[in-house]
Structure 1
Amino acid sequence: MPKPGEEEPPRPDGGLEEAEPSRESREEEPPALRPPDSPPQILSVSELLETAHEISKLTIAHEIVLNCDFKLQAVNFAPNSLENRVKDTLHKAFWDSLKEQLSASPPDYTQAIQLLQEIKEALLSLLLPRHNRLRSQIEEALDTELIRQEAEHGALDIHSLTMYILGTMAMLCAPVRDQEVQRLRSLTDPVQLLREIFRVLDLMKMDMLNFTIQSLRPHLQDHSIQYERKKFQELLDKLPNSLDHTTEWLRKAAAELSVSSSQSPPHPAVSSSPASPSQGAVSNSAALPSPTSVLNRGYMNLLCWEPGQKEYPETLFMDQARLQEVQSQVNQLTITAAVLLVTSGMCGSTLFGSPGFEEALQDIGNQVLQEVSRTLSQLGYPAFTSDKCASLKGQIRSIADKDNAVRSVIEQRIHSFLSLFISPNGQNSLKDLPKGLDAIQEELLEVGRRFGSVIHHNRQVFGPYYSEILKKVLFPEPEPDTGIDSF
């Protein structure tokens, strides 16, 4: 523990005082946002590596902002993998070499001194800039030149140095590492002790990185829009024609709305097989949809995306896995709600609302029928006839078909409810929940919040790009007249 008057060392447990970052009253619009039209260019290997590095940084920043549980984790190879065998072999050779040096007469401290230098650097990396006194203490206690001189004169005390290191680690580590640091004090073999010190220091550095991420998250959230937009533009400058899939995605949404505008008011959900004009062009005969409605339609289309058949929009690539998880959960909720609706329609509201009945409907087909029969018997109702049993099982089984009428109705209602979460000024609450979805309302609200969070962030970052693309999609420039009649 620090003495009175000394500064408190940092502990990566959320206890550090952080200055509240200032929030901008409004975002500054970046200069010229330009979806490039220039022809593709060939990048050198170094340019490709640099681009990959920039994409990695952009992806990490995006993940930190949207994923509250984001944490960096150490790379762990599979036990029987080639990488793990090579790593174990090299590590064993290194520590065996250190053991031979320390067991020699007189001991050879060359490798040990290098390790102590690396330990000092690791400890210093865990400090904040304001911890000058503790930094000076570590520099003095683990002075490499002094340690080398002690080794040359046979006066080096490895045990004393390692005890100081463990004491410093105990002050710097997060509470979750206290027991591990304490356990190191029981090790007597200097080689094993040094090896374990490095292992625990690696964990401490990961703790500090994750603590720093948590501390910086409010600041990143304030500035992530500008940062992501700037980095994305830099990538577009290097990789022209990188918005082709985004353009096609919005063109398809515009074509769907153009066709449906002449019919009854379109449902916010995505139709399973929209009748769109050739090549996704916007119909000139139908009323022109608004840019906002086109973008919202595009977002809702993501809930019916068919993997492997078309490329995901470039502007949503970083969220593809997150959105596909939402899509999977929506599909599960659709089937669950459809099963519940079919069963309640067959059994009646009195039976369906009995205690424990909804919980019993987690299984499909025979399990549902068994629970229905048991509950009917308990409540004194007559058992289902064989025809009614077959009908119930058949209706439940047919829900697996995407064209099933009940499933389609439930899917449309779910999509209609989720569309409220992506509207720029939309409000959503349980009062907006469509009929037949009461049993899944909590799960549906959670999915809607996560879906809306991703979409709102995407809309803020890429809104200017979408505006430029939609201008071209909705108001295409007429092709020059060549004077040649078309056939």
Structure 2
Amino acid sequence: MSDREGPSGSGTQGSDKGENNTRTSAQPMPTAASSYYASEPIQFRVRGSTITGASPPKFVTLEDIMKAAHGMQNMALAHEIAVDQDFKLEPFEPPDNSYQKLVKETMHKAYFDILREQLNSEPPEYKQALVLLEDVKQGLFAILLPRHTRIREMIEEVDVFRAILETLEILKLDLANTLIAMIRPHVQQESVQYERAKFDELLKVSEDGLQYTREWLKRHIDVEGLSLPVTDKNIIRNVTAQTLAKAYLELLEWDTSKNYPETVSLDAPRFAELGTQVFRVGCGAALLLASPACGDHSTAAAHKQTLKDKILILIDNTTNDIELKSVLPSVAEEIILVTEQLLEKLSQSPLTAETKEIIRTQILSLGDPEHRVREIVRQRVLEFLKTILVCGGGSRQIPVGLSALARELTAVSGTLLRYVMHNKAVFTSHYMDIVAEELSRS
């Protein structure tokens, strides 16, 4: 697993970069009409090992490949709606100084310049403008919901065409997001079968669509104590559950030098973000443990909560050890300041210069990822998450030393479990086949 010495990332899926893969998405694919042999489908050979040398080569058509690619795009959209509770459409704005933005602005300006010229001519030309206005108004009314009474009134009063068109775009987006919210429960129910079917279509046209998934799982299969070969389905199922729990945790600390598993590629950014959150929870807990405790039980609890809030704010933008080290001096000074404020409130002696230096040294030492306190906290966090994944949630005791960050740890574990349950529902059969194949070896 990565020790997060550099910026976190989701990893990229490797690919050959030969001459046959130089075409970009912006370049049109050849059609049958442009081929010299228009009556015959274009075919591509799928390389791959066969059991016997006499087996015939496997061929797929260009149509098969394009269907699979299109299916993966639809699968990705369905996956986003099903997994991300906050998914919604956003208005597209081309990047500044881009060709797309230039074209958009030029076309819009030309359109309204022509309209303005007609309206300002002597005599003014209103016929086309009135037709346009009526069409736009009817289009607006067609997509309004019953609750949009104020917008309906506004449309009746608007006399600026640009404002009408902009309002139309806003309402179209609002309607689309409303529909997404309405269909999300249905998508969540159907997306498992849909994603499984689309992925299986992709496997038919790929050389080995599970190559990196297989490598990922094999790193975590534990055969200790087993008498190989194993054929008992219950044992295979149990080994698969333990294997997957460790494999999913690896995604939180992904080593970007490895190829990302195909079956979790859609959620790579999500696992990377969760990994960053786990990193911050661990660092926050370690910093709290290294901070001085003051006062009686009730005062100490309030002090710890204040320190926690301050620390989490200071490390909020850290994603790796390098960034953590850069903010630790500020964290140390904040801890000293909060502690002195508490001592003053309790009418106790302030910290001595020697004590302040000890606090600074302790805090700065936590920049080392192999620091004993950080390593213990990390192991406790990962063991807690592993238990959640294996047992499927339920009531679990927060590990010792992490009670102050129970809310953050619970939020992370809940989100992780949601991603994992969806992924397992789609790909468990493939995972069990891979584990079974490995356990069948003597």
Q: Distance in 2 between matches of 1:72 and 1:232?
A: 25
Q: Is the 8 A contact 1:65 1:224 kept in 2?
A: yes
Structure 1 contact 338–407 (Cα < 8 Å) conserved:
yes
Bigger shift: 46-55 or 241-250?
A: 46-55
The counterpart of 2:241, out of the listed 292, 298, 312, is 292
1:80 to 1:112, Cα distance in 2 relative to 1, 3 A: farther
Query: Is 2:150 the counterpart of 1:203?
Result: no
Deviation at 1:48, TM superposition (A): 6.1
Matching residue's letter, 1:252: R
| SS of the residue 1:309 aligns to | coil
**Offset at residue 228 of structure 1 (A):** 1.1
Q: How does 1:13-52 map to 2 (within 5 A)?
A: 44=62, 50-52=67-69
The aligned amino acid for 2:284 is T
Is 2:257 the partner of 1:309? Answer: yes
Q: State the partner residue of 1:335.
A: 283
CA gap 1:352/1:238 in 2 versus in 1, 3 angstroms:
farther
Closer, same or farther: CA 229–101 of 1 in aligned 2, 3 Å: same
Matched, 1:62 2:9: no
- Tell me how far 1:349 sits from its aligned partner: 6.9
Deviation at 1:218, TM superposition (A): 1.5
Q: Is the 8 A contact 1:40 1:241 kept in 2?
A: no
Equivalent residue for 1:107, pick from 125, 146, 164: 125
Cα RMSD over matched residues? Answer: 3.4
Aligned 8 A contact 2:228 2:440 in 1: no
- Equivalent-residue separation in structure 1 for 2:103 and 2:272 (angstroms): 36
Cα distance in 1 for residues equivalent to 2:433 and 2:228: 20
Structure 2 partner of 1:465: 430
The equivalences for 1:8-407 within 5 A come to: 44=62, 50-102=67-119, 103=121, 107=125, 109=127, 113=131, 120=138, 124=142, 126=143, 172-173=144-145, 175=147, 179=150, 181-188=152-159, 192-193=160-161, 195-254=162-221, 257-258=222-223, 261=224, 290-306=239-255, 308-344=256-292, 350=297, 353=300, 355-361=302-308, 362-363=310-311, 364-407=331-374
- Secondary structure of 1:290's match? helix
- Deviation of 1:82 after TM superposition, in Å, equals 3.5
Cα displacement (A) at 1:326 = 0.9
SS of 1:401's partner is coil
Q: Deviations over 1:356-400 (max 9, x none)?
A: 453145241122122223323433444445444333222211222
Q: 1:446 — aligned with what? A: 411
How many Å separate the matches in 2 of 1:240 and 1:370? 61
Q: Shift of residue 317 of structure 1?
A: 0.8
Task: Output the amino acid matched with 1:421.
Answer: I
Residue number in structure 2 paired with 1:160:
none
Contact 1:433 1:441 in 2 (8 A): yes
Give the drift of 1:354. Answer: 5.2
Secondary structure of 2:291's counterpart equals helix
Return the letter of the residue paired with 1:312. Y
Contact 2:286/2:366 (<8 A) preserved: yes
Structure 1 residues 233 and 111: CA distance shift in structure 2, 3 A = farther
Whole-Å separation in 2 of the counterparts to 1:42 and 1:399: 56
**Does 2:383 correspond to 1:416?**
yes
| CA–CA distance in structure 2, aligned partners of residues 49 and 250 of structure 1 | 29
Percent identity of equivalent pairs = 29
Once the two structures are TM-superposed, the CA of residue 204 in structure 1 deviates from its matched residue by 1.6
Q: Post-superposition shift, 1:467?
A: 1.0
Count matched residues.
362
Contact 2:388/2:417 (<8 A) preserved = yes
Distance 2:253 2:307 in 1: 29
Closer, same or farther: CA 295–321 of 1 in aligned 2, 3 Å: same
Quote the offset at 1:293 in angstroms. 1.1
Match of 1:436 among 377, 401, 413: 401
- The structure-2 alpha-carbon separation of the partners of 1:252 and 1:174, relative to structure 1 and needing over 3 Å to count, comes to farther
Change (3 A) 1:84 1:109: same
TM-score of the aligned structures, taking structure 2 as reference length: 0.72
- What TM-score does the superposition give when structure 1 sets the normalisation length? 0.65
After superposition, the Cα gap between the structure-2 partners of 1:95 and 1:48, relative to the gap in structure 1 and judged at 3 Å, is: farther
How far is 1:314 from its partner? 0.8
Q: Which runs of 5+ in 2 are unaligned?
A: 1-47, 51-56, 230-234, 312-330
Corresponding position of 1:152:
none
* CA apart distance, 1:447: 0.9
Question: Aligned to 2:440, which of 475, 478, 485?
Answer: 475
> Deviations for 1:170-194, whole angstroms, at most 9, x for unmatched residues?
xx2475x655554444443xxx32x
Larger Rg: 1
Q: Measure how far apart 1:104 and its partner are.
A: 6.5
Higher RCO structure, 1 or 2 (CA under 8 Å, sep 6+): 2
Question: Which residue identity lines up with residue 107 of structure 1 in the other structure?
Answer: E
1:482 aligned partner: none
